[in-house]
Structure 1
Amino acid sequence: MAGKLSLFFSIILSSNLSAFELPRMDAAGVAGSAAVAESRLPDIPAPLETRQSSYFAEYQVNGARIAVPHVGNGRRVIAALHWNANRETFAAKVREAFNSPSSAAPEKINPESRAEQELAALNPGYEIVSLNSFLPGGAAALFNLEYSFGGPNCFNAAFTAAGLRDHRKLRHVGNPEADQLLSMYYRKTPASSLRPGDVIVLNGGDHGVYYLGAGLIFHKKSYLKQHSYRIVPLERAYEPEPFEWKPGPFDNGSPFNSSEPIRKMEAWRPTGAQYEFGYATEEEKARAGIINFVAEQVELKAPNWRLSRELGYFTESLLEGLVSEWSAMGKSPNPVIRAYYHQLSSLRDQANQSIESELLSSPHAQSNAYQILKDNWLPRNDYSRALVGSLLRLYGRDSSETEAVLDAIGNSFERNPLNQVKR
């Protein structure tokens, strides 16, 4: 495995990194993103709510009734169709509401979840259909998904629904990274004329959501592991929901028991921009390769509660040092280099949140935090050897020094590992 990791890493560092690590969009350039000023909060579009049942909320969107299961009560958006209803007429209404592809169609299902069974019981003789094909792929994959690790947050949800992030690679997306992605792939547009696909930033960056259409949004309320990916009316983005908070044995009550008012909305519309890697020095290319490598490891280990055991607390400390050491990347004229830098700060935050969840979430851990963190400081494995060896080469040292530098890092608990690399 060590050979495979080293080979993979050398390929990354020697490649020309021809494009930024995001799916390409359709258009060839970036539209202007001049600020759009609005003197007051625009009217917030809202769907007509027709029913709040025990296990779902029902809304009327563009004349079609759809049911959204509450947390933990089903992972499919559903509807009840009469046996002789015109399915294409219904589908056309939902496609128009959500700007869905022409191939989107209701799919007959056997009611399984509590929401599906309740909708069937309330509509005897009707077909229960799934509407997930009308949703963006990332939103359909994550809707009502409950993950047991902290970190993935509102901007992760918004950009995953938008197709800028892979739903299989969940992690924290901090505000600096979100701002950079918005500046690259979106333009600001009046919040009074929302369209499906817009990303909406609420209250000056406090929350970010993906606008599905018809007054509904896809979002994740926070980075906390207790919050799942939800579809709710935009006007209720901050409101508590039924079954929302499922505390573990060491959790307190929900910090979201009251509703925060929406005071400000900024709407961002995708431009279809795409980017080549652009001009970069060899050092910047090497740094981008290192960031790619760490991102792959964090996105693989964090969801499985293996970050602390396999990447170690030293990873968080090292990333903190790199965020400071490589800050010039955040001011680069190349937007792709800036994006890599802000991704680095998000990876640091994800490492912090994973360490907190995995190691320090119990009263016992809180009273023994120093020893627990020390015991999980530096795993000696393929990952740490590949990462430290590549950093040594970046700073002009020979990778044959890797084991000695790892010894020094291991003996320097809670000190910046980068200091040992640069000596």
Structure 2
Amino acid sequence: MGETVRRAGRASVQLLTAAGLALVSYLFLAVLLFTAVATVIVVGAGVLPETVLMLRRMAGYKRRRVAAWTGEAVPEAYLPLTGQLSERVRTATADPGTYRDLRWLAAHFGYGPLLAYGALPLWALGLFVDGVWCGLLRRRAVVLPLIPRLADLDAAWSRALLLPSPDSRRTARLAERVEELTVTRAGAVAAHGAELRRIERDLHDGTQARLVALSMRVGLAKRAYDTDPERARKLLDDAQDQAEEALTELRQVVRALHPPILTDRGLMGAVRALAASSGLDVAVREDGVEEGPRAPAAVEAAAYFVVAEALTNAAKHSGTDRAAVELMCRNGRLTVSVRDEGRGGAGSVVVPGGASAGAPGGSGLLGIRRRVAALDGTVEVTSPAGGPTLIEVELPCAW
């Protein structure tokens, strides 16, 4: 009996919530009328997207209530309301989700309060019949279990009205994907621009300066060759040293574009070399990476730079001397995990398909996100205060 009463109480809360939402819907009706008039006269068309967003929030709240009662989520599918005002108005009016929510709202005007009001006499009758008559005869309750049935009806009708069609879900996913790729492209362009500026700076401040000095040394040596051979020889020795230094800097610039060690040793060999030179005690583990053909060069380079940046950050900021690197290849996806046992605090964010420039975590992690975003990968950084810090990157890998 006690469990029956508790379930009936939960069902009553569910029904009263539905009635309250219906009351809000009545008030929202005035907003709909105002929006319709404003849109017709064009001047107030900007109100339409905001009204549609309010409608989506109300439908979303109902979806959560249904999921809480049934234990099964109700998916949603909406076209994103982004862009210029004209685009947002066009999307709001063309989105099937708008009309689906309006259909649910209209139906909920009726069945929401009706089911809630139906629970009230059942409570009065149930307390007498189930509490007194069934209690004396030691029989199961017969009236109070009807209240959860009303909540089941409310959930079933709401789910049927709010559930998007497969076509709507595909369209919404496609729209989300387009928006995601737009952000990814912006991040990739920003990363490419930053890389070009870095290369230009390295060549201008380093290699170009050394080549200019080298040219001057050779010119001075030519002038001194006939009158002071010893000085000319010393100038040529200095010029040779500067030429070697310029070559070294050029190799570093090229190595930053695509490390030669990747070509020579492959991804796992390059990662093991990184681990050995990081100054940390790094455990390296691989699963399926060395089996079969190698990943595309761009994927290997991205994975290499993720490990390099993560180990550099760990050595500089974590305050620990231990780290672990794991690379795993499964189902055409390359997963890179770098974990350190340091103090943490690097931020925690999941970035599907990359990240925006405003993502937390510092310039190093932002560089990782942008590089991975350019390949349509994902980045997850977990770094609570006190540690540990875990960076997980997943890259699509067409073998």
Q: TM-score, normalised by structure 1?
A: 0.21
Q: TM-score, normalised by structure 2?
A: 0.22
Higher relative contact order (CA 8 A, sep 6+): 1
Structure with the bigger percentage of helix: 2
